[in-house]
Amino acid sequence: MKKVAVLLLGSMVLTGCGSDESSDSHTSSTYMGEIESVNAHADSMTVNAMALSLSSARIELNGHYVDSTELEPGMQVDVEYDDGIAYEVDIDPEIVGIATLVTESEITVNGQVFEHANIAKDLVGTNSNRVMLFGYVDQTGKWVINAIHKANFLPAEDLYEGKITSIDKASSHFNIGTMKVDYSNAGMDHEDLAELKVNAWVEVEGQFSTDFKAYDVDVEDDLDLANAEVEGYVTALNHDKTLMTLNGKTDVVITENTRFEDGIKDELKIGSRVDVDLINNAGQLQASEIEFD
């Protein structure tokens, strides 16, 4: 699947890759992370301390075109860029839907209540705005919401993601916590269907009413992060520190060959913010280097 991670206060990715288009002559890199600032006058944004021109960028959210004027600091994005120029920008929220109730400490989207640290002041008291929520799942399995942005420019399509907690394949339903998802009309082949199981992390697009009716279901593959640099939070760590989870979703193996920078292995703990260089070693996602932020 396209989407591989969440997020600064989620996760980010930095890696080199060739263009998929044979007509493209530039060599590009890919970065996933938080927009630090936007300069509308210069038509540029800053991510990972890099200023990137947006003049040549195609900006999308789940395949829908988005104007650069809609970009705001705090949004998580997947950027293909080269030499200070962004060519493709994908906005990467975890939840999209109508905010039916907003207070200074909670927001209800797609029937789910999320706590926040008073970061939706312009939405308090409203009940009809389409919004994007950005965040990650902490060590307790609870969403930490870092940014909330209006998304009234988007089509009437909802998005939700998380870990499957139960599934009934006979009736084509699964649950992400209390969210019930009907995937009977989702375009999935036999291979996709076989990947649907308890504890699989999925991204669901569709329409929410009382339940979520899915048009599309993507099952995340941790190995999509191989050869990438990911920034995130350690949300689980085993006793001997040979296996950690980033952002509540990505399991990473730590080996005797894993290098540590700006710290040592003994300092690694739940809540640590780290940069991790990832590799695919015989089908296993491993950390080649862990740098403490």
The predicted structure's pLDDT at residue 26:
55
Tell me if 6 is assigned to some domain: no
Tell me: pLDDT of 227 over 90.
Answer: no
Count of the separate structural domains present in the chain: 4
Work out whether the CA dihedral 248, 252, 255, 259 comes out positive or negative.
Answer: negative
CATH number, domain containing residue 196: 2.40.50.320
Q: How confident is the model at residue 289 (pLDDT cuts 50, 70, 90)?
A: very high
The predicted structure's pLDDT at residue 116:
97
| Claim to verify: residue 24 and residue 84 sit in the same structural domain | yes
Tell me if 120 is assigned to some domain: yes
| Claim to verify: residue 17 and residue 86 sit in the same structural domain | yes
| Claim to verify: residue 274 and residue 212 sit in the same structural domain | no
Task: Give the integer Cα–Cα distance in Å for 164 and 199.
Answer: 5
The predicted structure's pLDDT at residue 104:
96
Tell me if 66 is assigned to some domain: yes
Domain boundary among 219, 238, 271: 219
pLDDT tens per residue, range 36-65: 999 999 999 998 888 999 999 999 998 899
Tell me if 171 is assigned to some domain: yes
Tell me if 80 is assigned to some domain: yes
The predicted structure's pLDDT at residue 27:
64
Tell me: pLDDT of 28 over 90.
Answer: no
Tell me if 5 is assigned to some domain: no
pLDDT tens per residue, range 165-196: 999 999 999 999 999 999 999 988 888 899 99
CATH number, domain containing residue 67: 2.40.50
Tell me: pLDDT of 11 over 70.
Answer: no
Give the chain's mean pLDDT.
Answer: 89
Tell me if 162 is assigned to some domain: yes
pLDDT tens per residue, range 81-114: 999 999 999 999 999 999 999 999 999 999 999 9
Tell me: pLDDT of 13 over 70.
Answer: no
Q: Provide mean pLDDT across the span 210-221.
A: 95
Tell me: pLDDT of 19 over 60.
Answer: no
| Claim to verify: residue 138 and residue 201 sit in the same structural domain | no
| Claim to verify: residue 83 and residue 117 sit in the same structural domain | no
pLDDT tens per residue, range 110-169: 999 999 999 999 999 999 999 999 999 999 999 999 999 999 998 889 999 999 999 999
| Claim to verify: residue 182 and residue 144 sit in the same structural domain | no
Q: 212 is in which domain, residue-wise?
A: 158-219
| Claim to verify: residue 172 and residue 136 sit in the same structural domain | no
| Claim to verify: residue 102 and residue 141 sit in the same structural domain | yes
Q: Provide mean pLDDT across the span 197-203.
A: 96
Q: Provide mean pLDDT across the span 259-264.
A: 97
The predicted structure's pLDDT at residue 32:
79
| Claim to verify: residue 242 and residue 274 sit in the same structural domain | yes
Tell me if 284 is assigned to some domain: yes
Domain boundary among 150, 168, 193: 150
pLDDT tens per residue, range 238-261: 999 999 999 899 999 999 999 999
The predicted structure's pLDDT at residue 152:
93
| Claim to verify: residue 244 and residue 267 sit in the same structural domain | yes
